[in-house]
Structure 1
Amino acid sequence: MNITEVIASLKSIANSPASLREDERKELLASFDTLRVKLETPFESSLRFVFAPHQSVALEIAVDMKLFDASAALSAEKKEFTLHELVARMEGDVDPSLVLRIMRFLTSMALFFEVGPQQYAALPLSHAYTTASPLSSCVVHMTSQNKIMAALPSYFRERGYLSPDDAYNGPFQYAHQTPLHCFAWLATQPRLQDAFNIMMTLPRGDTPLKWFDIYPVTTKLAVASPDDVLLVDVGGGVGHDLIAFKSSFPDLEGGLVLQELPVVVDSIPRLPTGIHVVSHDMFTTPPPATFGARAYFLSNVLHDWPDKQASIILANVKEAMAPDSVLLVSENILPDWKVPIFNASADFVMMANFAALERTEGQYREFLEGAGFELVEVWKGEGVMDGRRLLEAVLKR
């Protein structure tokens, strides 16, 4: 097959993608990435690396301008539209020249197709960023990290090339010139706090499976009495996991407790009957309502904290646990090698914001043992290709 045939084949795949299994889809994407790296010159690769943050900035500006809301409304009426038709649908006094500059990015990012000069057609991806989509909140929150990321080189030049290990004295405080922890600072920023709360409801990983889809809940988490606490969701956000859990196991006996900070609790809408909300800081003595539960669930909590502070969280959980209680930790586990760039980026986000880290299975085992737990099993859903795992631990005997 000559190069012309290869190009024609790739175009055919792009225009009419076949139905693929998840492993096939990921293998195909990895092949494209390998091909791109081999074909690029060092200069082209360098430009791709250093210009990458510009796309997220353009995307956030478009979200803020409600550009995607306007394009969605237009697309419902016609397949193609002009720049001026788009501007006319947008809120407030919008400069057409600015919208044009934003659209240059968005067309190159395959959110829109350029039919001609200043003429566009919306592509499916553009609908993912309307105001109603949680992905728009994800863009708002994650793009706010750019300031901290940009400060990392000077942070390390000034403080030495050591991984930060204190959540109250790390890159976040350096970049924002604040003594506040990231979460405390976030509470002073209503827009970003709201975006963060919404983002945390998004599913993690490449599978719709929930932790309770892969864990034998009915056999492992049975309680002796309906009055017993079945599950405490520590740092459970707005209750999305507990709501899904209750929906999947409506007849399972035992109370469900959501434990969260006041700023998050205040934003929670009405929860289903049977879910009790406790406003609490996980770094303080656990509240009586959480004592003696059958299981304590922490999802995406420990990766927010370096060992120094994460050990305090687990010490407080231990204080509330009964001898036969179970600790369930849902996290993204880094592989020991060949770490995908997405996971490497997630690790940098943890480092920048919280002086924390994404951990390998070995690091979690060592950390849990040091905190007085025994890791008894690592649960993985069938067909799961990413690093999402459920760690089951018990108190060390």
Structure 2
Amino acid sequence: MATESKDDTSRPVDLSSAARPNRIEQVPILLKDITESVNSLTKGTDEDRKDVLVKCRALVQAVQTPRETMVDHCWGQMGAIAAVGFGVDSGLWVLMAQNGDKTQKVVDLAMSLGVDARLLSRLMRHLGAMGLLVEVGEDEYRPTNYTRCLSLPQIGHGYLGLTACTGAGTLKFHEFSRKRGWVNPLDPKDTSLMYAYGTNKHIFNWVQDSGYGTHLNDYLGGYGVGRPLWMDPAVYPVKERLINDANPSPDAPFLVDIGGNVGHDLARFHSRYPDAPGKLILQDLPMMIRQIKDLDPAIVRMEYDFHNEQPIKGRVVPLSSFSLPQFHFNPILLIISIGARAYYIHSTLHNWSDDVCETILTRVKEAMKPGYSRLLINEFVVPQIGAHWETTGLDMLMLTLFSSEQRTNKAWYDLVERRVGLKIVKIWSSGKGVESVIECELA
């Protein structure tokens, strides 16, 4: 067992503090706030529910001792991630969901899965202790809504495609930072993930080559579950801002999703606005486009690297290619500019430094039609104070896996207006812990 070092007496914090609650004086206040919030929760909004969740988290942390918080992180949460990932990969959660809500025995589950019963017992015991499974008796459990949802690829596969093959980048970040002089990392070619795994591959190539590409895509497909989407009228008025006054031609580019993965966002948009005019165009790297298995044929698939010239851009077209008999002048001399109504970029710019983002956005700027095209950036706008934990949590992923960041309001204006020369028309807020819509036009 470790003992106290000789210089412990010179430290500003006594070791006994680690055995005292973190903020015991806050408990009565938090209990009162939680009680009042819960009483009105059934009639409240999702924002009210999020506030209750934050307060409940604060209550747990107030009652915990520093040692318990540390052990929760290092033992409890790490162990839970290991056990959950095992369950996803082995098919445990799918099997339990198929069995229904009845009590299920470890020995029966292990036999069906072909796994070691003793191993499964240890893993499920920990998940029961963490409150993620309902322990009924010795080696007997009932599923919870959480474990049932782990059978869904959009939820369960996040533990493999997002965490299992990238986690070392987070765990080794302190070491990566120390060896680089404790500076804020900005180089997309030098990330903590690359350092931890000894690779020069960007995260998406790394995940794909590690065999978890489909898992990551599944996770991204469920990214917005239970959260307002950018095209919801309460977030961004699509009809008023985009559909009205759009080019009615069925061949005109309407919405271009740049870096849109396998088309999750455009599929949702097409479902909600099936009569939107023109073409919906999905753009991403060939390795992403080729992974598409099920996408409405109305969505055009285009292989494209957003560092290069945008192919959907304003261009000159001879009027002779149109049928307009009412014009009586030389049709060969008349030209018409055609550009997309909107260029949409969702959760992509946060993967890159300002220098790279400047190039990406400049490509869009060059393609936009004056007075017609809009750029919609669907990203977090981090408040200076009071940021939601989902926002800061994703910022930590960007930091450790991409050497990039979630941007503040000030940072977005600096990037979009000062560096690129576009104008931010308005930032449409979606609520706490949800991406905003940053609407831009040519200045």
With normalisation by structure 2, the TM-score equals 0.79
Does 2:158 align with 1:138? yes
1:42 is aligned to 66
Does 2:429 align with 1:380? yes
Gaps of 5+ in 1: none
Query: Match of 1:378, as an amino acid?
Result: I
Equivalent position SS for 1:178 = coil
Equivalent position SS for 1:308 = helix
1:166 is aligned to 187
Q: CA deviation at 1:223?
A: 2.4
Question: Deviation per CA, 1:46-83, whole angstroms, max 9, x where unpaired?
Answer: 2123333332222111111111122223336xx21221
Does 2:92 align with 1:72? no
1:354 is aligned to 402
Q: Are the aligned partners of 2:231 and 2:237 in contact in 1 as well (CA < 8 Å)?
A: no
Equivalent position SS for 2:135 = strand
| Candidates 237, 260, 281, aligned match of 1:257 | 281
1:322 is aligned to 369
Distance 1:288 1:224, change over 3 A: closer
Distance 1:55 1:20, change over 3 A: farther
Does 2:267 align with 1:243? yes
* CA distance in structure 2 between the aligned counterparts of 1:356 and 1:205, rounded to whole angstroms: 25
Does 2:240 align with 1:219? yes
Distance 1:72 1:275, change over 3 A: closer
Distance 1:67 1:350, change over 3 A: same
Q: CA deviation at 1:262?
A: 0.7
Distance 1:294 1:49, change over 3 A: same
Identity %: 28
Count of aligned pairs? 379
Question: Deviation per CA, 1:250-278, whole angstroms, max 9, x where unpaired?
Answer: 22221111101111101113432432111
| Candidates 109, 116, 132, aligned match of 1:95 | 116
Query: Could you tell which deviates more after superposition, 274-283 or 43-52?
Result: 43-52
Query: Match of 1:105, as an amino acid?
Result: H
Q: Are the aligned partners of 1:173 and 1:180 in contact in 2 as well (CA < 8 Å)?
A: yes
| Candidates 23, 41, 46, aligned match of 1:22 | 46
* CA distance in structure 2 between the aligned counterparts of 1:22 and 1:344, rounded to whole angstroms: 19
Does 2:215 align with 1:195? yes
* CA distance in structure 1 between the aligned counterparts of 2:90 and 2:247, rounded to whole angstroms: 54
Query: Match of 1:358, as an amino acid?
Result: Q
Does 2:224 align with 1:204? yes
Does 2:254 align with 1:230? yes
Whose Rg is larger? 2
Query: Could you tell which deviates more after superposition, 178-187 or 149-158?
Result: 178-187
* CA distance in structure 2 between the aligned counterparts of 1:285 and 1:251, rounded to whole angstroms: 29
Q: CA deviation at 1:205?
A: 7.4
Equivalent position SS for 1:230 = strand
* CA distance in structure 2 between the aligned counterparts of 1:233 and 1:135, rounded to whole angstroms: 24
Equivalent position SS for 1:256 = strand
Distance 1:335 1:387, change over 3 A: farther
Q: CA deviation at 1:225?
A: 4.1
Runs of 4 or more, structure 1, over 6 Å off, are none
Does 2:199 align with 1:178? yes
Q: CA deviation at 1:391?
A: 0.5
Distance 1:205 1:249, change over 3 A: closer
2:126 is aligned to 105
Question: Deviation per CA, 1:128-184, whole angstroms, max 9, x where unpaired?
Answer: 111x43101112122223111111011111111111101111212211211222222
1:298 is aligned to 345
RMSD between aligned residues: 2.6
Q: Are the aligned partners of 1:378 and 1:390 in contact in 2 as well (CA < 8 Å)?
A: yes
Q: Are the aligned partners of 1:378 and 1:392 in contact in 2 as well (CA < 8 Å)?
A: yes
* CA distance in structure 2 between the aligned counterparts of 1:354 and 1:188, rounded to whole angstroms: 17
Gaps of 5+ in 2: 1-26, 316-338
Question: Deviation per CA, 1:320-367, whole angstroms, max 9, x where unpaired?
Answer: 222231110111221211223332221110111111101112211111
Does 2:174 align with 1:153? yes
Query: Could you tell which deviates more after superposition, 199-208 or 140-149?
Result: 199-208
Q: Are the aligned partners of 1:205 and 1:386 in contact in 2 as well (CA < 8 Å)?
A: no
With normalisation by structure 1, the TM-score equals 0.88
Q: CA deviation at 1:206?
A: 5.2
* CA distance in structure 2 between the aligned counterparts of 1:257 and 1:23, rounded to whole angstroms: 33
* CA distance in structure 1 between the aligned counterparts of 2:178 and 2:405, rounded to whole angstroms: 20
1:281 is aligned to 305
Determine which structure has greater relative contact order: mean sequence separation of CA pairs < 8 Å that are 6+ residues apart, divided by chain length: 1
2:379 is aligned to 331
